[in-house]
Amino acid sequence: MSAPTASADGPGEATRALQERFQAALMPTYGVPPVAIARGEGARVWDADGREYLDLIGGIAVSALGHGHPALTKAVADQAATLAHTSNLFLHEREVELAERLIALLGDPGARVFLTNSGTEANEAALKLARKAAGPGRTVLVAAENGFHGRTLGALAVTGKEAIRAPFGPYGTEVRFFPHGDAEALRAAVDGDTAAVIVEPVQGEAGVVPAPDGYLADVRAVCDETGAAFILDEIQSGIGRTGHWFAHQAAGVRPDILTLAKGLGGGLPIGACVGFGRFATAFAKGDHGSTFGGNPVAAAAALAVLDTVGSDDLVGNAARTGAALADGIRATGHPLLAGVRGTGLWLGLALTADRAADVQARAAAHGFLVNAVAPDAVRLAPPLTLTADQAASFTGALPAILDEVTP
């Protein structure tokens, strides 16, 4: 496959017009995005001016099936035409079927699912569930430095990125932070006052930063020794992203509470909080709720994602294509490239200088959408349908992109 059509520097006329409307109508929480996406097909997207890009961001690990996948569009259209919303006052088959499918994939028939609209809501549910199970005497939460769990106040309280956390404190709960992957520091932070430990298997927002081998087993052991709940945030890593259905399965470790979102809906807003063991039934009637959680259309989308990931072996494709992509990036041997982190189709390009924003901009000019997730790190989280030829088109263009931003 040839590389996507390279775009000229700077936005086109249609994009500029939309950016002006954006500034006039929306709060400035995202600045002004540099690209206005108008449509997509598979792993390709086109902007408002007709420029083509290979989408290596995938809506931040969301668009598992790419754009316009027929299984997803049919499921959404059929469900919207049949039943679009019920609220939590009534049940419907799609939410039950989705919960059953997740439980089966997780391999624990005793698990129970609470469906949400997003990852941050899944983490809010997880924190409440852990606090409810712990009782009033255990209120401390323990989380990793540089971790990311969401923007709402509860999830933000355990997010270890000081720049986004500090402006909104105090949070009304004690949170102890420890260095990501440091088992001894974790052990020192957890005691009889700790309700829960919340971690990610790999820190996505920090630049796709893995922990040492055995880290999740260490977290499991500390929680077992102290009685704290083990909450595992797999919002980015779940649903095949790492070349496994769930990252914790590859580690041979089961958390007490698991949170999912992003790739689960393939572009529709949905998340899940899954409780195991005593955490499956710690919530009682009225303890938590969501008007839109488990919405029929979003649940139908998630079922289509799970069906397609399974039937098309997209977990295997993530492993194979991700490995080829990582190898191709390493093979460039460019002096600006310090290394590649991550597994499957969830990779971080570590740079030798703080030029990630420039790499993102120049990649877009060459027809590739990537994410400058940290000053010295670029994140790739493309659709799980990415082909080897598409991956090769990026690695072929990468040396020129890096040359253009090398100090």
Contact assessment for residue 383 and residue 43, using Cβ atoms and an 8 Å cutoff: yes
The Cα 399–Cα 38 span in angstroms is 28
Per annotation, catalytic residue among 49, 114, 148, 376: 148
Beta strands in 147-294 (DSSP E): 175-178, 194-199, 202-203, 209-210, 229-233, 257-260, 271-275
Report whether 237 contacts 202 (CB < 8 A): yes
User: Per the residue annotation, which of 262, 279, 376, 394 is the catalytic one?
Assistant: 262
Of the residues 49, 55, 218, 233, only one is catalytic, namely 233
3-state secondary structure at position 231: strand
Is 128 tagged catalytic? Answer: no
* Dihedral sign for Cα atoms in the order 301, 304, 306, 308: negative
Q: Kindly report the CA angle at 216 between 246 and 191, in degrees rounded to 5?
A: 135
- Tell me which amino acid residue 136 is: P
What is the SS3 assignment for 211? coil
Q: For residues 270 and 117, what is the distance between their CA atoms, to the nearest angstrom?
A: 4
Q: Is 246 a catalytic residue?
A: no
Cis ω on the peptide bond leading into residue 170 (within 30° of 0)? yes
Q: Transcribe 331-399 into DSSP letters.
A: HT--TTEEEEEEETTEEEEEESSS-HHHHHHHHHHTTEE-EEEETTEEEE---TT--HHHHHHHHHHHH
Report the alpha-carbon angle 23-27-33, nearest 5.
55
**Is-catalytic flag, 376?**
no
Collapsed DSSP state (helix, strand, coil) of residue 76: helix
Q: Is the dihedral of CA 128, 132, 133, 136 positive or negative?
A: positive
Tell which residue, 398, 406, 391, 309, has the closest CA to residue 352. 406
Q: Where are the beta strands (DSSP E) in 168-285?
A: 175-178, 194-199, 202-203, 209-210, 229-233, 257-260, 271-275
Residue 170 CB contacts under 8 Å (≥ 6 apart), including other chains: none
Give the separation between CA 120 and CA 126, rounded to whole angstroms.
10
Distance CA 2, CA 366 (A): 12
- Give the residue numbers marked as catalytic: 148, 233, 262
